Structures are given as C-alpha cells and as structure tokens.
Amino acid sequence: MQSDLSNFKKKTPTQEKKQKLLDKIKSNLLQKLVCPLRDEATNLVFGKGNSNADILFIGEAPGEKEDLQGIPFVGRAGKELDQLLHSINLSLEDVYIANILKYRPPKNRDPKKDEIKNHTPYLIEQIKAIKPKVICTLGNFSTKFVLSKFNPDEMKKIEGVSNLHGKPVNIKIDKLTFKVVPLYHPAAMLYRPKLRGALKKDFKKINKVIKKDN
C-alpha cells in the first residue's frame, strides 16, 4: 500500500508528455463538444489517475457523486475498485479511469446513441494518449461498447459481461492494438456479493496479461 507521499512523486518525462496530451484533449472537449447533457450536468468528469498507466478502466457514465465532484469513481464503487486493486498490489494512483460519457445523464439513465457518438472521439483520444497495456471495461454497457469497436449501433451483437468477464480480447484502434479484459462493475458487488470472488480472480488475470506483454 502506497503512502500519502506518493501523490507528490515527480512525474517522469513520459508521464508529463502524456498528461499534456490529456490536458489538450480535455481543453478541446470543453471548447468543441456540443451535447445537451452539458447543460444539465454540474461538472465535466474527464478522467483521473496516472497518465502513464498500464491499466485503463472504462466505465459507462458519471453518477450523481461523480457529477458533483467532477471525478470518476468516487463513493462506494471507487472504494470497491481500490480494494480490488490492492489485491494485486496496485492502487488508484497506478491506473487511469475514464467513462464513455464525460457528463452525467439525467437520473443515471442509459446513454443515448447520439450522446455516445458525440463523446467517443474524446475517449479514443484518451486511449491513444495513455497507450495502456490493458483496457478493462467495467460492466455490461462499457464491455459491449468497446468490443463493438466503439460503435453503439453494433452493441446488441456483443455478448454480455457475464459471459465475457476475465477473457482477454484484442482490439485495434487505428494502427494500435490493445488487450481488453471485460470485468463486472465493482458496484455490482454491492447488491450481488457473490461476484466479489469472480472479480478478484479476474483482477489476477489482468496482472498475468500485463506480465505477458512485458
């Protein structure tokens, strides 16, 4: 477990370069994204974490607490994710977390196709900037979206996370190839405690995928 001083570690040149790219993407999003969700949301929830992370987690959309704080995965789901990371000797400071949508849909409803299409270019730019070794999709929606090659029109053709969890899949974004590991959403453990065992096993698989890539 890392100490509080880890927040003050000097960034490597690679990390600084990637962070500048992410800052530019965020700035472009704020300037150019036209989305009705923006008018109803409290904050932009762009992403958080290590810009040079080996692992990128992708969720569906911000919830109420995320919208209020402008940070993804706060509250109970964030605590569950942190505990799962600690089980493989990592912390939230070692990974990067982003959502498909950067603004909260009203009453946490499912994202609409046009909303997804508006936000997708920015998510893809985040992935290309970070260049993670593994992309972990959190939950059914995120899994279907990423494995449909970021095409909401094709999501219905993809199996659900209950069949795909823990099974690495290769996807291509432009000329880059990424390994995707579908996962149950950590929040699912709050109402289905039996999923904790499956999630712990799947997190161990993430470590194996990274080690194979080294």
Q: CA–CA separation, 139 vs 58, rounded Å? A: 9
Can you list the pairs that 186-194 forms with residues at least 24 positions away whose Cβ atoms lie under 8 Å?
A: 186/73, 186/77, 186/78, 186/80, 186/81, 186/84, 186/138, 187/76, 187/77, 187/80, 187/139, 188/139, 189/80, 190/76, 190/77, 190/80
User: What confidence tier does 11 reach under pLDDT thresholds 50, 70, 90?
Assistant: confident
Report all structural domains of the chain as residue ranges with CATH numbers, in order of start.
13-213 (3.40.470.10)
Within 10 angstroms of residue 86's Cβ, the number of other Cβ atoms is 14
User: Is 45's pLDDT higher than 60?
Assistant: yes
Q: Which helix (H) or strand (E) holds 134?
A: strand 134-138
Where does residue 197 rank: exposed (0-12), middle (13-18), buried (19+ CB within 10 A)? exposed
Question: How far, in Å, CA of 54 to CA of 131, rounded?
Answer: 8
On the question of pLDDT at 61 being above 60, the answer is yes
Average pLDDT over residues 43-65: 97
Residue 172 parent element (H or E): strand 169-173
Distance CA 68, CA 88 (A): 30
Give Cα separations from 111 to 39, 105, 151 (angstroms). 15, 7, 13
- Name the pLDDT band for 60 (thresholds 50, 70, 90): very high
Average model confidence (pLDDT) across the chain: 92
* H helix intervals, the chain: 13-32, 36-40, 64-69, 76-86, 113-130, 140-147, 161-164, 188-191, 195-213
Q: Is residue 5 over pLDDT 50?
A: no
C-alpha 15/C-alpha 22 separation (Å) is 10
Across the range 9-21, mean pLDDT stands at: 86
Q: How far does CA 22 lie from the centroid of its chain?
A: 14
pLDDT tens for each residue of 107-158: 999 999 999 999 999 999 999 999 999 999 999 999 999 999 999 999 999 9
Mean pLDDT to the nearest integer, 103-108:
95
